């Protein structure tokens, strides 16, 4: 067996996401899953602002802190405009011998402007060049809605009404065949869209990365994907406190968000943990991979210290009860490309989940 393609077994592609991230030998004995998160993903609607705000200049500090704390799952995307900075930082670690490429789980994503079969290879090759890598462990279709590369005269993204998930998925499968991606998956897809891809796939989607937090728990989508052996990865698992604060025009101290909810604060005191750790642990016990975002070194370290306690069934139930459904979303749909989304045939929010 060619060791360059350890994800291939007798013509069948394994769910490498689940195998690599969720089946570590040192997994938490209280869980069926061992979750490692990434702290370098972006969640801003303004991509140029996001690239600046991440602090590409201090990406080395972020990467150093995360790896030293034990993080091994790094989530990025072509659209985040930080792949190159991440690649440079990781190369320092590889060159030093402190860590090997195969010890990391690297995720990046096809931008919506590349949601055409003929563009998949081009964008993945560019991401690999940015990251200075020959393969990624997981490659996701970032959005179910495609757009054209060129904006309109006003600078707005122009949506592509002819987005074809099935032809796009075949092109994604070709990247696994070529060894450029170990696993492939989806992001922001609803149940109907996941099922259509899954039903027609030669290589099944390994993961669906979606917004998920205490107020927006996506219970139906989690159950649906679990039945298809598609793992769920939660972005914004803390409820995007920064976004909520920026969008709030009143007193920041009265903003309603998961981190400051009385039940979360009560449990943080009970378990002697931070509110963030309570929220992360809650998602983990629901079998969800979490990728909380922080560029603060101390919070980075705190966010991985969630394997030394277990929420009781009663406490989990109390947190489960705080779900608000769609009203609990913390992020606007599709960031800055919401014009025409409601009418787009692949708008995932046309369905209940």
pLDDT in tens, the chain (353 residues): 332 223 323 334 445 544 444 333 333 322 223 333 443 433 322 222 233 344 455 889 889 999 998 899 999 999 999 999 999 999 999 999 999 999 999 999 999 999 999 999 999 999 999 999 999 999 999 999 999 988 888 888 889 999 999 999 999 999 999 999 999 999 999 999 999 999 999 999 999 999 999 999 999 999 999 999 999 999 999 988 777 777 776 666 677 899 999 999 999 999 999 999 999 999 999 999 999 887 788 888 899 999 999 999 999 999 999 999 998 988 765 554 455 787 888 989 888 89
Q: If we measure between CA atoms, which residue out of 205, 125, 221 comes closest to residue 169?
A: 205
Q: Which of 78, 80, 123, 235 is catalytic?
A: 80
Tokens found for residue 214: 């205490």
Give me the half-sphere count of Cα atoms (radius 13 Å) on the Cβ side of residue 269.
6
Partners of 138 in the β-ladder: 107, 183
pLDDT score at 46: 26
pLDDT score at 57: 56
Partners of 160 in the β-ladder: 146
| pLDDT tens readout for residues 263-322 | 999 999 999 999 999 999 999 999 999 998 877 888 888 999 999 999 999 999 999 999
Number of C-beta neighbours around residue 225 at 10 A: 23
Where is 19: in which H helix or E strand?
Answer: helix 16-21
CATH of 33-39+58-149+157-334, one of 3.20.20.100, 3.90.380.10, 2.130.10.10, 3.10.620.30: 3.20.20.100
- Report yes or no: 175 and 208 within 8 Å, Cβ to Cβ: no
Owner of token pair 């179910």: 144
pLDDT score at 42: 34
pLDDT score at 336: 46
> Residue 60: CB partners within 8 Å, gap ≥ 6?
88, 89, 92
Q: What does each C-alpha distance from 149 to 49, 114, 130, 142, 152 come to in angstroms?
A: 19, 8, 19, 15, 10
Q: Is 80 considered catalytic here?
A: yes
Q: If we measure between CA atoms, which residue out of 150, 151, 172, 147 comes closest to residue 161?
A: 147
């Amino acid at each position: 067996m060619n060791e360059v393609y350890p994800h291939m077994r007798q013509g069948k592609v394994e769910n490498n996401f689940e195998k690599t991230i969720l089946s570590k030998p040192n997994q938490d004995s209280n869980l069926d899953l061992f979750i490692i998160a990434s702290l370098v993903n972006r969640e801003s609607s303004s991509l140029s602002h996001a690239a600046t705000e991440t602090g590409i200049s201090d990406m080395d500090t972020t990467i150093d802190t995360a790896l030293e704390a034990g993080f091994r799952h790094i989530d990025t995307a072509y659209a985040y405009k930080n792949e190159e900075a991440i690649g440079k930082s990781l190369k320092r670690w590889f060159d030093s011998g402190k860590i090997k490429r195969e010890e990391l789980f690297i995720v990046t994503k096809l931008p919506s402007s590349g949601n055409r079969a003929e563009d998949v290879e081009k964008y993945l090759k560019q991401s690999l060049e940015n990251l200075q890598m020959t393969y990624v462990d997981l490659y996701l279709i970032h959005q179910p809605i495609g757009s054209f590369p060129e904006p309109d005269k006003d600078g707005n993204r122009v949506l592509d009404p002819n987005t074809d998930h099935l032809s796009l998925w075949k092109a994604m499968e070709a990247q696994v065949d070529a060894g450029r991606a170990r696993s492939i998956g989806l992001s922001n897809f609803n149940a109907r869209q996941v099922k259509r891809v899954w039903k027609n796939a030669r290589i099944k989607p390994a993961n669906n990365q979606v917004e998920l937090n205490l107020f927006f728990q996506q219970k139906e989508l989690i159950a649906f994907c679990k039945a298809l052996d598609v793992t769920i990865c939660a972005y914004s698992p803390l409820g995007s406190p920064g976004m909520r604060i920026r969008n709030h025009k009143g007193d920041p101290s009265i903003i309603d968000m998961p981190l400051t909810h009385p039940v979360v604060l009560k449990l943080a005191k009970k378990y002697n943990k931070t509110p963030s750790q309570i929220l992360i642990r809650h998602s983990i016990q629901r079998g969800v991979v979490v990728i909380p975002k922080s560029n603060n070194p101390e919070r980075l370290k705190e966010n991985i210290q969630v394997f030394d306690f277990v929420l009781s069934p009663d406490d989990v139930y109390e947190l489960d009860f705080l779900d608000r459904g769609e009203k609990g979303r913390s992020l606007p749909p599709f960031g800055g490309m919401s014009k025409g989304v409601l009418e787009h045939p692949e708008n995932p929010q046309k369905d209940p989940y």
